[in-house]
Amino acid sequence: MASIVHAQSNTGMILGVVTDKTGATVSGATASLTNAITGYNQTAVTDKQGQYRLVDVPFNNYVLSIKSSGFEAETRTVAVRSDLQQTINVQLGVAPVREEVTVRPGELIEAEKTAPTTVLDRNWVLRFPTSQPSRGAEEIVGTVPGWTVDANGRLHARGIEYQVQYLIDGIPVTDTIADTFAAAPDPRNFRSVEVTTANIPAEYGNKLAGIIAVTSRSGLEIPTSGSVTLSGGSFSTFETSFDFGGHTKKFGYFVSAAGSTTDRFLAPPALENFHNNGRAIKSFVKLDYSPSDKDIVRLNLFFDRQRFDVPNLPDQQQEGQDQRRRIHDNMQSLSWEHVFSPNLVGYLAGHQRYNAANLRSNAEAAPIFAEQSRHLSNYGFLGSLTWHKSRHTIKTGFEYSRFPLTESFTLSITDLADLLNKEPDLPEPVRDFVFPNAFFFNDHRTGHEGSVYVQDHINATRDLTFDLGVRYDGYHFLVDKDYVSPRLGMAYRIEKSRTVLRAAYNRFLETPALENLLLSSSADAQIFSPGGEGEGAAITTSRARGVLRATRALPRSPFVRAANEEAPGESDPDKGAPVQPSREWQVDTGFQQQLGKYVRLDADFYYRHLKNPPEITNFLETGVIFPANLDHSRSKGIETRLDVARVRGFSGFVSYTNLHIYGFAPITGGLFLGEAVDLRKHAGQRVNIEEDQRNTVVFQAMYDHLPGRWWVAFGGRHDSGFSVELEPNTTRADFEAEFPAKILDRVNFDRGFIKPHTVLDFSIGKDITLNEHVLLSGQFNVQNLADSFYLITFESVFSGTTIGRPRNYSGKLILNFK
């Protein structure tokens, strides 16, 4: 393979030549790179010239081991901190008559890291207990301190809505990733994942509550090989998948696909699991081409599709409601990397992402009939230069993207009495939208955003490190906003005690979620808000200004066509209340401490202030969620993680998060509905935030029996419960007519929180070698061992009431071949 560098945002490369004492090259030597905490392992074999190369190495500390028959093994400690290549040449001595080699884990602390990060390796991801491995990304990330998972895979970092960003091989994904918005990537395609919530570098922008930096699998680092997986479990769950990859001298290839079906696709709103079937298809292709020793071109292709039912309440099931969602998304990226010199690397990439989401219903829907079609594109390009000089590693770059957005929404009331019982403050004009009358909204807009940044990683002394950066963002959509964001961090190592002290100050501009943003910000939708500008308006539709557009109409049911026989009027879309970008600042302090040879403790303390923080509102009883803003909010907490490196087969971790987040009125952007209307008149009034879960504990203990090639794991999580957004003086008696006692018993109405719950999991697995080319792996899981009944949310604005997963059994068989 040609010797090139991979200049992604979160990976580097190690290469070198292995020789003997005479200077002759050693072919066939094995170079192994390992991390004792994460379990990361990558191997390469030297070629005829004695050269080895380890690619796509996540930023971390490693032990590099070089072994060859007849030679004494050599080990080195290696730190990967930038996308510049590291050349490590190794000379092997003749082995003694008897040699016993033990590779120690080395130093576990990360002296040059100014932020706490958690790296999740593929080997751990593959063992994660789930009946649908392709849909496990959110639960996997949810094990990291500072992160919680709401109903239906919606991740929250530090309790903040809508502000989680995936970076896949350096390409930002800024739309909302969750089961009901857009599909997360298949985590088995992750080579490694680095997750952080603190001291976000200046190269990152847009969504910054938490960063999930993914390095995907590449054919460059694997021999020609593949696997076929069959998975299944409770609730008629079944999944089949395959992957295949390898490389030639200049070309690497990797492809994977997965298809799944289940009768519990989403968390149900009732004890009964009514109307909850879903299917998902995911595919991924990655091609790498290295035309010279200084260049590499990479092409990534993602195609995902989901079709699923919207779960019914018992009365909706009895009435025959049939709401269905379809979500399709795809993403393509093409990148080029060039090595100008060993100390200067360039990177240029273009990307395109498309997401389409449709909600379809039938005439039996109650109390509201709703249909929706939403289309979001995001395309652009980005580039960077990384330069190393003396104690400085400087990176500067730019990003530019455009995002056309189209939204269509129809609403008609099918049971006014039932709706008024649930929404007694429903504005009078809205009560006219009783079938066959309907509210119809349609709009199309295109926004754009540009950014430039510069950052410097400074090794000031052997023990003192600084990360300094600044970023400019220009956001232009429904509002225009320009912002400069300084990012400052430092780390100081106390070598004698094996301690690293850290501190950071960051400012951010975080852009609004694009899903249903036009509807939330429009003048037309103000009719649903008492006292809004649209009150008293007739049935309306919005039209974008400027050139005439041609938009393909999706097929609509006869019910919708009947509901829209009247000719729509017009209104000015600029008279709405646009959702604003958030302006934030955050302070972090913390430490990392090595305890003995095999244990490491990370702790981070933070305070975060947000102006115009993102919030969400449910469009009446439709399940359509749209963004809004509070005036400001505050978040503070502690994030800790204790990792145990593998020793005599045992390894594990414990993470703990303490969080408190709260907001303040008034609402400053988006649509005001229900009790939220009152917040416009009470500036400074404190507002409960649903994601204010005070305590979260996640743990796992694992034992690997290497001689027998079997393993066992026991883990779980404790959640103290999300906040319940109830009106003042609300008691249990107010809900007894609507909910069974089993659900109400899990709500603490005095505190306004869901009651705590603990869920325990168990897994066991074994590998069986069928022949030198085929390996069979099996795994069996029991999730929620004690069959604990718990709630995820109760009367949530986003997802209503959702029931946690009962005890469920699952297993999988993997046929690996090479």
Residues contacting 271, CB < 8 A, separation 6+: 740, 742, 743, 803
Residue 810 has pLDDT above 70, yes or no: yes
> What pLDDT does residue 621 have?
66
What does DSSP say about strands 599-611 and 540-541: parallel, antiparallel, or unpaired?
Answer: unpaired
- pTM here? 0.88
> What pLDDT does residue 708 have?
86
Say which residue the tokens 């795994």 belong to. Answer: 779
pLDDT band at 553 (very low <50, low <70, confident <90, very high): very low
Provide the CA 574 distance to its chain's centre, in angstroms: 33
Residues 172, 154, 516: CA angle, nearest 5 degrees: 70
Least confident window among 73-87, 443-457, 521-535: 521-535
| Buried-state track 75-85, b at ≥16 Cβ within 10 A, e below 16 | beebbbbbbbb
pLDDT band at 423 (very low <50, low <70, confident <90, very high): confident
As a whole number of angstroms, the distance between CA 297 and CA 289 comes to: 5
Residue 279 has pLDDT above 80, yes or no: yes
Residue 205 has pLDDT above 60, yes or no: yes
Token couple for 792: 């995820």
pLDDT band at 1 (very low <50, low <70, confident <90, very high): very low
Least confident window among 51-55, 58-62, 319-323, 552-556: 552-556
> What pLDDT does residue 96 have?
66
pLDDT band at 161 (very low <50, low <70, confident <90, very high): confident
Least confident window among 190-204, 295-309, 420-434, 567-581: 567-581
Residues 305, 225, 42: CA angle, nearest 5 degrees: 100
Least confident window among 384-398, 679-693, 781-795: 679-693
How would you classify residue 564: left for phi > 0, otherwise alpha for psi between -120 and 50, otherwise beta?
alpha
Domain boundaries, the chain: 11-92, 117-265+295-365+376-817
What is the SS3 string spanning 395-423?
Answer: EEEEEEEEEEEEEEEEEEECCHHHHHHHC
Task: Judge contact between 212 and 551, C-beta under 8 A.
Answer: no
> What pLDDT does residue 204 have?
95
The amino acid at residue 661 is I
Task: Judge contact between 259 and 242, C-beta under 8 A.
Answer: no
The CA dihedral of 658, 664, 668, 672, to the nearest 10 degrees, is 90
Averaged pLDDT, 237-256:
96
> What pLDDT does residue 675 have?
56
> What pLDDT does residue 550 have?
27
Task: Judge contact between 656 and 696, C-beta under 8 A.
Answer: yes
pLDDT band at 491 (very low <50, low <70, confident <90, very high): very high
Residues contacting 366, CB < 8 A, separation 6+: 315, 316, 319, 321, 414, 415, 418
| DSSP designation for 385 | E
Averaged pLDDT, 94-121:
74
Residue 137 has pLDDT above 90, yes or no: yes
Name which CATH class applies to 11-92: mainly beta
Name which CATH class applies to 117-265+295-365+376-817: mainly beta
> What pLDDT does residue 399 have?
97
| Buried-state track 164-187, b at ≥16 Cβ within 10 A, e below 16 | bbbbbbbbbbbbbbbbbbbbbbbb
> What pLDDT does residue 394 have?
96
Coil, helix or strand for 141? helix
As a whole number, the mean pLDDT across the chain is: 87
> What pLDDT does residue 427 have?
84
Averaged pLDDT, 396-419:
94
